[in-house]
Every structure is written in C-alpha cells, then in structure tokens.
Amino acid sequence: MKYYTSTTEFNCGIDLHAREMYVCVMDRQGAKLVHTNIVGNDFAFFLKKVEPYRHSLTVVCECTFNWYWLADACFEAKVPFVLAHALYLKHITSSKNKNDRIDSEKLAHLLRANLIPPSYVYPSGRRPIRTLLRQRMSYVWQRAALMTHVSMNQTAEGLTPVAKGGHNRDVWIERILAQYDNPLHRMGVTCEMDMIRAYDTQIVKLEAEIIRQAKHHEGRDYQLLNTVPGIGPILAMTILFELDAIERFPTVKDFLSYSRLVKGSVASAGKVKGLTGGKMGNAYLRWAFGEAAVICKRNHPLLTPYADRLIAKRGKFKGNAILAAKLARAVYFMLRKGTAFEAEKVIATSV
C-alpha cells in the first residue's frame, strides 16, 4: 500500500456528501483550526473559512461518487487535492463511533501523518468520453437483462427459448410471438422488445461518437490494442479511457493489480490464510480483459490450444482469469514500448 506525503503546514479533511460537507483543518501538531459543516457544498464559503491557511493547505476527501466537482474546484483555486482510496481507508479508520464530524477529523489526522492511501484523480478533460463508455456499457447490460428475461418467460411457460438470431429483432420477435396464444403474454413480449430496440438505437449512437473520439485522441494506442486477438473497437476504447495513461503504472504488477487480475494475500506467522482485495481496482478493466480472454480463444492458431490446456488443468473460470492476466500483461508492454501484439510471448510460459 502506498501513502501520500503531505508537505504543507495545514491539512484539511473533508467528509463529502451530495448536499453538504464537513470540514476539518489541522496544523502539523494536530490542533483543530476549523471544524464545521458547510451546507450546500458552498466552495466559495469553504475558501473563506480556510483563507488564513490557504497559502500552505492540502485538501483530502474519499473517492465517493461525487468527488469530481471538488477536485476541479481545488485545482482551479490552486489548492493541492488528494483523493483517498475509500476501501483502503476503511481498513485504517474503522472504529466504534462514526459520523461526519469524526470522519473529517480522521481524514485530517491521516493526511498530516502521511497515512492517506491515494487514489487516482482522473483528468477532467477525459471524463466525458469515459462517461459515455460507461453509459454505453450500462445500456448493453440492461439490454442483455431484458433479453434474458424474455427467454426466462418462455422457459417458465414450458416453451423452448427462441435463438436471438443476431441483430435481426423482427425475426426474433415474430418467432417468440408465434409461441404465445395469450394476448397478455404477447403484449409483455412486445413491450420488452420495444425497450430492447430503444437500447439498440442509443448504443449505436454512443458507439459512433466514442469511436470517433478514440481515433482522434488515442491514434497509436488505439491501433495497437486492435492488434490483440479478442480486443475490438469497444474493448480497446474501454481499456484506453479506463487506464488513462500507462505511464502512471510503474510496473506491470501495479497494472495487473489495478485491473483486478491479481489478489492480495492474508498471512500470519508465515502462513497464508487466504486471499483478499478482489474488489480493489477498476471493475471496467477487469471486465474488458475478461471479455477479451473469452473471445480470443475462439479461433486463434496459438491462443486456442493454449487456452484449452489452461482450462483442462485449472478449470474454466481460473483458466480464463489466467489468460486475461496474460493479455493485460501483454497490453502493458505494448503500450509502454509501442509494439504490436505477439501471441508467441503470451504462451511462452508453461501452463
């Protein structure tokens, strides 16, 4: 675990919420100089309260869903901002009593003691594209849930689910409707199909804009990722905009850890008790490399037999996870060195 080193004389912990934030400013000795709640997240009022200490002040808050605006406001005000990793922080600050006042004070204490586990402050200029990618992914998952629900309803009625038949929704719905005699069942299928078609339209619209943006912003890296078997335009864009810059990962181990492809261990007295930290990292990168692993083994002269050997020895889930980690390792060095994918290097190590 890495910790942020504060170099300022004053440190400010903020327990941030949607409509208010509790602020605690401390000096190096731990004396509380400001400890108050700011209703409405009024940043101008916050700057007024901390004005006497602003010349040497660092601000920290947890990486909850609503930190973007605070990071941008601190950047514009030229106040150093630290984003604390919420899951790591939970292990450090757990206690019997918990409220906003206590949380803000703990954040300030940890910051002045150089015990804040930092999270990455994603650049504001790249957030809109990443948001579109995540929005598109959400639509795909919701569409898949609707399609699964249609099949489940057929199974519940003792019917054989109709094969989806690619993107031709008209043929699919006609075959499903032909199975039902009850008009209420037919109405339910029609409503769900209307929702699926609406998602189809929005997904295509998002994909067109995201691909255009990806080619404009990430020309070389985008082309390199498309040389990896199993990685197409969507997965390439997801990887690019979730990792932001490969240079921020000093080693390939850091990148694999951030991608949720390796877990930490729990050890005591020289004995490993188990694994932990499976949910620490970027869920979208884990999904992207997992999808790439499933796709790349379908019809590749080298990766398909290699994946078959992995699955035969380790099982399907573990084998896919190992292949996903190997693809992520390859991507790390590809982006670092600017080289294309080489399957021979992926399968060089023994199963």
Segments making up each domain of the chain, as ranges = 10-121, 126-217, 244-346
What dihedral do alpha carbons 245, 247, 248, 250 form, nearest 10°?
Answer: 150
Model confidence pLDDT, tens digit, residues 175-232: 999 999 999 999 999 999 999 999 999 999 999 998 888 777 767 888 999 999 999 9
Mean pLDDT of 163-177: 85
What is the three-state SS of 93-124? HCCCCCCHHHHHHHHHHHHHCCCECECCCCCH
Is-contact 84 60, C-beta < 8 A? yes
The rounded mean pLDDT for the chain is 90
* Domain 10-121: top CATH class: alpha beta
Model confidence pLDDT, tens digit, residues 23-61: 999 999 999 999 999 999 999 999 999 999 999 999 999
Mean pLDDT of 10-24: 96
Q: What percent of the chain has pLDDT over 70?
A: 94
Model confidence pLDDT, tens digit, residues 66-96: 999 999 999 999 999 999 998 888 766 666 6
Give 32's strand partners.
26
- pLDDT of 277 higher than 90: no
Looking at residue 251, its pLDDT comes to: 94
Whole-prediction pTM: 0.85
Q: Which residue has the tokens 């038949």?
A: 165
Model confidence pLDDT, tens digit, residues 118-161: 999 999 999 999 999 999 999 999 999 999 999 999 999 999 99
Looking at residue 218, its pLDDT comes to: 67
Structure token pair of residue 146: 């609707």
Comparing CA positions, the residue from 293, 134, 136, 284 lying closest to residue 228 is 293
Mean pLDDT of 239-267: 89
Model confidence pLDDT, tens digit, residues 238-252: 999 999 999 999 999
User: For the chain, what is the total number of helices (H) and then of strands (E)?
Assistant: 14, 7
Model confidence pLDDT, tens digit, residues 282-315: 999 999 999 999 999 888 999 999 999 999 999 9
Cβ-defined contacts of 255-261 (< 8 Å, 24+): 255/328, 255/329, 255/332, 256/325, 256/328, 256/329, 256/332, 257/281, 258/282, 258/285, 259/285, 259/286, 259/289, 259/328, 260/285, 260/286, 261/286, 261/289, 261/321, 261/324, 261/325, 261/328
